[in-house]
């Protein structure tokens, strides 16, 4: 395992970050098994864990908290807020009212007195950015949060947040968490350069493109047993994505071409995909989200893989730099693109 500085902070984190989204009801409901995944990751040298209040409605944070008993000081612990945590319309977003409640809820579930990196899960279109940053600054000054970050912010919001913090003299975002993979490269155009210019760490999510870059989803075949698309609602989504999504053939074509590149390089496709993300100079730590110990062991084996120029150039031929494959969803929800915002 290698380590890098988290932006301009003095904190060093492993180049793999253990993502806990699959801990709990939406993934692995066996708490003991999830705790073993955490311990195996720590023993392998990972010192960075990322979760969120919304993951399995707080269950993921509870599992992480239990797993870290006796080892909390060995970990840079990150969580996120923003998404709805109940029916009450004020239990969400970036308002001061919600932030001061959300952090207390996360601290309780995590069983800790401070969060190392507290991130806004999405941008809030309806709340003044200065209000959000002011509330987060107060948490830093109170010692409940050590650093703050953003997730899935576009480049202009990343820059505006830096300017807002400079104007107020408050805490600044030290880290951004974007979607980034071979399939989702549009952040290379502006988001990653903005993070580099402002000295921000970058911890990308979905480096395996929702499982597509594991190579386990094949044209004309059922989703494999044990995958997120194998049964129930997940299988219905998979069938729709294959049968009804016009971008599916493009994805299958890309997987087949990338599998050939991986084979020629002597690598599993998962290792090629993870190493590709880590190679970008803006990247601090790549989030891996295993559901089982077997998946974790496979992902850990990619930690020290490096790709040479020829392999990276071959990947560029499949998905050009700064572009996304069709069908990539950045979960933007930009209201400026809605009908009402475009009509005077």
Q: What is the pLDDT of residue 248?
A: 85
- Rounded Cα distance between 311 and 261, Å, is 7
Tell me how far CA of residue 67 lies from CA of 13, 41, 149, in angstroms.
19, 11, 24
pLDDT at 215: 86
Percent of the chain whose pLDDT exceeds 90: 84
**Digit-coded pLDDT (tens) for 66-102:** 999 999 999 999 999 999 999 999 999 999 999 999 9
Residues 272 and 191: their CA atoms lie apart, in Å, by 23
The pair of three-digit structure tokens given for residue 18, joined into one six-digit string? 């253990």
> What is the pLDDT confidence band of residue 162, given thresholds at 50, 70 and 90?
very high
The arithmetic mean of pLDDT across residues 289-318, rounded, is 97
Q: Which helix (H) or strand (E) holds 202?
A: strand 201-202
Domains in the chain and their CATH numbers?
3-217+267-326 (3.20.20.100)
Known catalytic membership, residue 180: no
Contact 98, 104 (CB under 8 A): no
For residue 154, the 8-state DSSP code is -
The confidence score (pLDDT) of residue 281 equals 97
On average, the pLDDT of the chain sits at 94
Selecting among 3, 55, 147, 217, the annotated active-site residue is 55
The pLDDT of residue 216 is 82
Give CA separation, 151 vs 82, 130, 244, 253, 314, in Å. 10, 17, 30, 30, 29
- pLDDT tens digits, 106-119: 999 999 999 999 99
For 266, other C-beta atoms within 10 Å of its C-beta total: 7
Measure the CA–CA gap between 211 and 217, rounded to whole angstroms. 8
CB atoms within 10 A of CB 186: 18
Cα-to-chain-centroid distance, residue 233: 23
Residues facing residue 205 across a β-bridge: 179
Q: What is the pLDDT of residue 122?
A: 96
Q: What are phi and psi of 4, to 5 degrees?
A: -140, 155
Residue 278 · residue 234 · CB < 8 Å: no
- Tell me the residue length of the chain: 344
Give residue 167's pLDDT: 96
- Measured CA to CA, the distance from residue 251 to residue 258 in angstroms comes to 10
Per-residue model confidence (pLDDT) at position 217: 78
Structure-model confidence comparison of residues 239 and 104, the more confident one: 104
- 268 — pLDDT class (breaks 50, 70, 90): very high
* Mean pLDDT on 183-198: 98
Q: pLDDT tens digits, residue range 199-256? A: 999 999 999 999 999 988 777 776 667 666 655 555 566 556 666 677 788 999 999 9
Instruction: Judge whether 102 and 134 are in contact, CB under 8 Å.
Output: no
Q: Sort 44 into a burial class: Cβ within 10 Å, 0-12 / 13-18 / 19+.
A: middle
CA-to-CA separations, 102 to 89, 113, 115, 220, 286, in angstroms, rounded: 13, 14, 12, 44, 25
Judge contact between 181 and 205, C-beta under 8 A: no
């Amino acid at each position: 395992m290698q380590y890098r500085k988290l932006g301009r902070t003095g904190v060093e984190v492993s180049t793999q970050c253990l993502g806990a989204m699959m801990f709990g009801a939406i993934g692995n409901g066996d708490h003991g098994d999830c705790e073993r995944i955490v311990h195996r990751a720590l023993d392998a040298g990972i010192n960075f864990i990322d979760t969120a209040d919304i993951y399995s409605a707080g269950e993921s944070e509870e599992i992480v908290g239990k797993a870290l008993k006796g080892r909390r000081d060995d970990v840079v612990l990150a969580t996120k807020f923003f998404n709805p945590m109940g029916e009450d319309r004020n239990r969400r977003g970036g308002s001061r009212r919600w932030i001061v409640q959300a952090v207390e809820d996360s601290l309780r579930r995590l069983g800790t007195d401070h969060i190392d990196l507290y991130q806004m899960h999405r941008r809030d279109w309806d709340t003044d950015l200065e209000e959000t940053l002011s509330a987060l600054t107060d948490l830093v000054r109170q010692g409940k949060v050590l650093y703050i970050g953003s997730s899935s912010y576009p480049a202009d919001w990343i820059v505006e947040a830096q300017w807002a913090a400079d104007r107020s003299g408050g805490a600044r975002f030290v880290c951004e968490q974007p979607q980034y993979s071979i399939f989702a490269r549009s952040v290379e155009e502006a988001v990653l350069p903005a993070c580099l210019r402002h000295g921000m760490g970058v911890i990308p999510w979905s480096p395996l493109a929702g499982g597509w870059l594991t190579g386990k989803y094949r044209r004309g075949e059922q989703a494999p047993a044990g995958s997120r698309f194998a049964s129930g609602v997940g299988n219905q989504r998979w069938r729709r994505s294959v049968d009804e999504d016009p971008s599916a053939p493009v994805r299958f074509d890309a997987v087949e071409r990338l599998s050939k590149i991986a084979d020629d390089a002597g690598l599993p496709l998962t290792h090629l995909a993870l190493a590709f993300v880590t190679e970008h100079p803006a990247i601090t730590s790549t989030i891996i989200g295993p559901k089982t110990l077997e998946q974790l062991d496979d992902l850990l084996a990619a930690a020290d893989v490096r790709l040479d120029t020829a392999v990276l150039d071959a990947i560029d031929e499949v998905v050009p730099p700064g572009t996304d494959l069709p069908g990539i969803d950045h979960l933007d929800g930009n209201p400026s693109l809605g009908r009402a915002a475009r009509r005077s």
